[in-house]
Structure 1
Amino acid sequence: MRYETVVIGAGQAGLSAGYHLAQRGKPFVILDGADRVGGSWLNRWDSLALFTPSNRNNLPGEKFGGGFSFASKDEMAAYLQRYAEQQQLPIRLGTRVDGLFREGDGFRVTAGTESFETDNVILATGVHRVPKIPDFAGELSPDIVQLHSADYRNPGQLQPGTVLIVGAGNSGAEIGVEVGKTHKVLLAGRNVGYIPIEVRGWQGRVAFPLIWWVWEHILTEDKKPGRKVQAEALEGHGEFLIRQKEKDLLAVGIERVARIGAVVDGRPQTEDGDLLDVANVIWATGFLPDFGWIDLPGLDSSGRLANQRGAVVGQPGLYVLGQEFQYMFNSHTVGGVGKDAAYVVRQIAGRSVLTSSMV
């Protein structure tokens, strides 16, 4: 099968790309290994709510609705499925891509026994791919329950006793506040700070439009403040807390401890040398990209793909969407990715015109 463009991933990034391709009348297909659109949202913890208000969760061409509420993961999954149906996007579900190769000036995309030839590929596989867990995690005592945040669903998975949450970013803080209602919680990791207003109340309603504008227009890679924040993000420094505050952590009795540096005699040890007696560990340590299935000459697929506004460096026709701070602070959010998608599709349209003129 041949398409001008193959989009890999039917999440918010892939759907946004599909919308803009359809608006330009470009032939394309979206491939996704899940059995439903938005399925990846359902594979997160039960109480997960988006960190941005619903009125900022709009994909191009269709509002999410819900005003200033913070949507649940189920509501987001339903929105994405509804969006794909209403936009009539050509999506092939149950098609798990396992290879990407050069084929002349274009590409060959493989998914099991199927093969797709294409001029352009948009990698819209999202940022939450492979759970990142330190190597010494395997040295923990088998009596300790271990979960990554990708596998955590609710406190019912945990055994009685203290819970150590490793990673003090948004996920660690949100899970900590929930678990702190039923367990003693230790939170290990750098204090990343927080938005100094209550975003869930009237202050958020007033200030969030300005916050969003700053994310979209000031914290970009072509401006000095944005480059500084981007560099910190790429170095693994956690984003500041959006919804939780230090007082919220203290309210449920969460105790902060130093970073975890090793395991000694089956127990986690902080960088300060303290051994922690815990019954559970939740690794809220983020994710690694998963581009190992890409086999392209000259491409380093071991980490974040170097790109210029989505165009992968040194790989004509290959684009990426939805990476954290791809161009602006909110590039990986539901409401932010559409702007990047529009830019990428403009590049594809320009490339198509150039290719046609050379024929």
Structure 2
Amino acid sequence: MPHTRENPHFPVAVIGGGQAGLAVAYELGRAGSPAVVLDAESATGDQWRRRWPSLRLFTPARHDGLPGSPFPAPRGAFPGKDDVAAYLTQFAEANAIDVRHGVRVTRLSTSPASFTLETTAGPMTANSVVVATGSTSTPHTPAFSRELDPGIVQLHSSEYRGPAHVPPGRILVVGYGTSGAEIAEELAKAGRDVTIAGRPTPTIPKPALAIAGDLWWLAMNRVLNRRTSIGRKAARRATEHGAPLIRISARDVRGAGAREVGRLTGAANGEPTFADGVTRPTPDVIIWCTGYRGDFRWIMIDGLDFDAKGYPVAPFGLPESVPGLAFLGMPFQTSVASHLLGGVGRDARDVATHLVRAGAGPA
């Protein structure tokens, strides 16, 4: 494809303008290889602005900074979602990162000398590409949700905006991770009839987090990573069972007035069914706190393999079969903190260093 104003060419194109994309663009710029960031959002931070009003990070501000930019909040504070959106906006502006908003990449492929990107702004090419869309691009709900009575209002946690925006009636929150616990607690405190389904993930006690928070963060980065045997075991466990509850516990949820039931296993005759076999009153609303999945079906590159869950096979974010291509912000890419605001910087530096040393994209 010829390089023209209509078909622009870039040394490095970063797909995704969230924390991962901004972090790697910063590191590439420092290394003398400025990148263009293609962001499907209308403005930096919009993905955070859409979340529910009370959402807060579960890591304190001292562990929430991107490279070269501490988070502007008291060290022990837990920033809210609008704080994060403002921080990302400021980070992009302060570092003069070239972000092209409203540009969604619909197809990524290779040509003999470069990568080809089909986008909503037209075709582009690049020597190297960083896919920084992470693993939270698509809300996930179980397949059996489609078998439930259509009279039951179903929301994903990504659509939750607070108690006032949830229809009246009995509410079933599905998923007992941090998001599910926080939403169930907030709804119960607002006087709503709430039941939460699932087994709570292990809790990190608040005193332990306060006293040993820095050691905990060090362990998340330096011990619980894919270079250690204990880290590889933790990666498998986190994938299978979910992250621990932080800043909230099952006791808090119960104390707010929410009821607990076992795991939701399916649907029968339009009704939810549970692992214990007990029939319960039909909920009027179900809020799915069942996480997200990455969607990489738009990547059409020969030789790039994907695992059973649809994630690219890319050790430490670098697929050996496709030089010049990298991924960033993946769950447990290097450590348990890899997908977090304050943990992505280390991986961003490694990816940027690799790309700069490697030079151009695929042959």
Fold conserved between structures, TM > 0.5: yes
Residue aligning to 1:186? 195
Residues 167 and 189 of structure 1 are in contact (CA less than 8 Å); yes or no, is this contact kept in structure 2? yes
| Cα distance change of structure 1 residues 196 and 117 upon mapping to structure 2, 3 Å threshold | same
Q: Indicate if the aligned counterparts of 1:291 and 1:303 stay in contact, CA closer than 8 A.
A: yes
Residue segments in structure 1 that go unaligned for 5+ positions in a row: none
CA distance in 2, matches of 1:246, 1:234: 21
C-alpha contact (below 8 Å) 2:56/2:78 kept by paired residues: yes
**Could you say which residue in structure 1 is the equivalent of 2:4?**
none
Q: Which residue of 2 aligns with 1:72?
A: 80
SS at match of 2:173: strand
Distance 1:45 1:354, change over 3 A: closer
What does 1:52-71 align with in structure 2 at a 5 Å threshold? 52-66=59-73, 67-71=75-79
Q: What is the DSSP-based 3-state SS (H/G/I as helix, E as strand, rest coil) of the residue aligned with 1:309?
A: helix
**For residue 108 of structure 2, what is the amino acid of its counterpart?**
L
Q: Which amino acid aligns with 1:64?
A: F
Per-residue CA deviation, residues 242-290 of structure 1 (Å, 9 max, x unaligned), is: 1111220111122221111121222211022122322211110111111
Equivalent residue number for residue 98 of structure 2: 90
Aligned to 1:219: 224
| Matched-pair contact (CA < 8 Å) for 2:324–2:360 | no
In 2: Cα distance, 1:136 partner to 1:268 partner: 9
Please name the residue that 1:291 is paired with.
296
Partner of 1:35: 42
1:120 aligns with 2:128: yes
Distance 1:186 1:354, change over 3 A: closer
Superposed structure 1 runs of 4+ greater than 4 Å apart: none
1:305-347 Cα offsets, whole Å, 9 max, x none, are: 2212210242211111111111101000010000000000110
Q: Is the aligned partner of 1:247 residue 2:251?
A: yes
1:206 corresponds in structure 2 to 211
Correspondence for 1:258? 262
Displacement of 1:354 in angstroms is 11
**What amino acid is aligned across from residue 306 of structure 1 in structure 2?**
V
Match of 1:20 among 21, 27, 35: 27
In structure 2, how many angstroms separate the alpha carbons of the residues matched to 1:163 and 1:223?
42
Q: How many residues align?
A: 351
Name the CA distance, whole Å, in 2 between partners of 1:204 and 1:158: 32
| Counterpart code for 2:227 | D
Deviation at 1:353, TM superposition (A): 8.2
Q: What amino acid does structure 2 have at the position aligned with 1:228?
A: K
Deviates more, 1:45-54 or 1:333-342: 45-54
CA-atom RMSD in angstroms = 1.8
Quote the residue 1:282 is aligned against. Answer: 287
The 5 A counterparts of 1:123-134 are 123-134=131-142
Distance between the aligned counterparts of 1:113 and 1:156, measured in 2?
38
Q: TM-score normalised to the size of structure 2?
A: 0.92
SS at match of 1:101: strand
Offset at residue 8 of structure 1 (A): 0.5
Which segment drifts farther, 305-314 or 168-177?
A: 305-314
Please, which of 104, 111, 114 is the counterpart of residue 119 of structure 2? Answer: 111
**Where in structure 2 are there 5+ consecutive unaligned residues?**
1-7
**Within the alignment, does 1:238 sit opposite 2:248 as a pair?**
no
Mean alpha-carbon deviation: is it higher for 67-76 or for 124-133? 124-133
2:329 pairs with 1:322: yes
The CA deviation at 1:299 is: 2.5
2:120 is the alignment partner of 1:139: no
- The aligned amino acid for 1:43 is R
Q: Which amino acid aligns with 1:295?
A: M
Paired residue secondary structure (1:150): helix
Q: By how many angstroms is 1:197 displaced? A: 2.9
User: Aligned AA for 2:235?
Assistant: Q
| Distance in 2 of aligned mates of 1:183 and 1:215 | 36
